[in-house]
Every structure is written in structure tokens, then in C-alpha cells.
Amino acid sequence: MLSAVEHAVELEPGLWRWEAYHPTWKKDVASVLVSSGNDVVLVDPLAPRDDAAWAFWQALDDASGAGRRLTVIVTVPDHARSAPAIVSRYPQTRIHVALRRARRSLAGIEVAPLEESTPLPAGVRAFETGRADERAIWIGPQRTLVVGDILLGISGGLSVCPAGWLPKNVTRAVVGGRLEPLLQLDIERVIPTHGAPPAESRAALEFALAEAQS
């Protein structure tokens, strides 16, 4: 679906990862797209810019024009990225994000909840992370875990984010413990939205959670 998009790779049928430059973060970041039946699910989507943009938007135009349902999942509010642009262009798009308290809008856009109990399309599930406003995303059919800020791809492996990224009452050890249920999943790959995917995803996840709790 994203074969014409620069820096996009189809990891397996229907599962795409692409990188684009984040103008605020000033680095490339990763996003994920799942194409399944009538559904297109985007996780932390950041549209490519300038000359690279048209192929991305053309792909979504084609999907929307064919009547496919677009869903955006935002792992953490700071990863809203292109979600407002997508919902502006395709107003039927539903955005799921975990927000603190009773807020139900993100950057002025009405959003839907993102809880472990929230039904999501394409075999996607949300898992708690220890942060009230962040979820890890499990794409069941592709046995793929997508993580936002809570786990970073570093040095070929994974690492729980620095303590300074966490709320005052949450430690790295708390996060490590809270993410342990993910080890019950039959994980084929982990896709961090910051950093490269580890070669040995399950081992990298085990190591990262143990290191955070040590």
C-alpha cells in the first residue's frame, strides 16, 4: 500500500513501517500502517514532507476513496504527529488515544479512548504501560508490538525510556513491571517509534524490562 512512499518497508503482507523527519524532534521517527480487509490502521503516523508527501497522501486517498475505514492510534499524546491532518483530510477517521482525566480531545480533535478494553480494528489491542497517557499497541495477526516513548530502540536492542521522560510518580522500575504482561504475547517483532527495531525482539524486550527493574 505504501510501496511508492520513501523509506517505507512492508515487513510482511499488510504491515508497513516507514520513517519520516520530525521537524520538532529533528530526527527521523517511525510510524506503522496495518492494511487488513476493509481497515487501514495507522499508529503514530507522521506524513513524509515536501516531495515525499504526495505518495503517502495518494495512498490514503486511494484507501479512503475505496471506502476503507481509516483509524489512527496514538500511543502517547506527544505522538499526535499527522493525526490532525489525517482527520482533516478524511473526516470519518477515528483517532484513539489515552488521555489523562476526562479530556476527550487532542489538538482540538474529538478522540476515542484507548484502553485495554477498547475494541480496535485489524486485530489490534492496547496494553497499559505504567504511564496513564501511553499504551503499547499489539497487532495480533502480525505478532507485532508497537511502542511509543516508553521503549526506545537503542544499540540494536530496547531500553525503557529515561526517568526524566516519566511522570514524577512513575519510575523506570514501575514501567518495567507494568510491561511484563507483554512477555506473555507471542512476539515476532517489536517496532519502536524511536530507534531501529531490534533483531531479537523478544530477548530485547526481556532484557529491557529486567534492566529497568534492576
Partner 1 sequence: MMNGGPFVLYALSQLRQQEIEKKARNAWRSASTAEARARPRHRGRAVRLDTVVGGC
Binding segment toward partner 1, per CB under 8 A, in 53-61, 121-129, 180-188, 205-213 = 53-61
Beta pairing, strands 39-43 & 69-74: parallel
Contact 32, 43 (CB under 8 A): yes
Smaller CB separation from partner 1, 77 or 121: 77
Give the residues across from 74 on adjacent strands.
97
Q: Is 53 in the site for partner 1 (CB under 8 A)?
A: yes
What is the pattern of x (binds partner 1, CB under 8 A) and - over residues 147-186? --x-------------------------------------
Smaller CB separation from partner 1, 61 or 180: 61
Contact 87, 73 (CB under 8 A): no
Smaller CB separation from partner 1, 111 or 174: 111
Smaller CB separation from partner 1, 72 or 187: 72
Cα–Cα nearest to 84, from 62, 56, 57, 108: 108
Residue 6: alpha-carbon gap to chain centroid: 19
Residue choice 12, 49, 132, 181 for contact with partner 1 (CB under 8 A): 49
d(CA 141, CA 143): 6
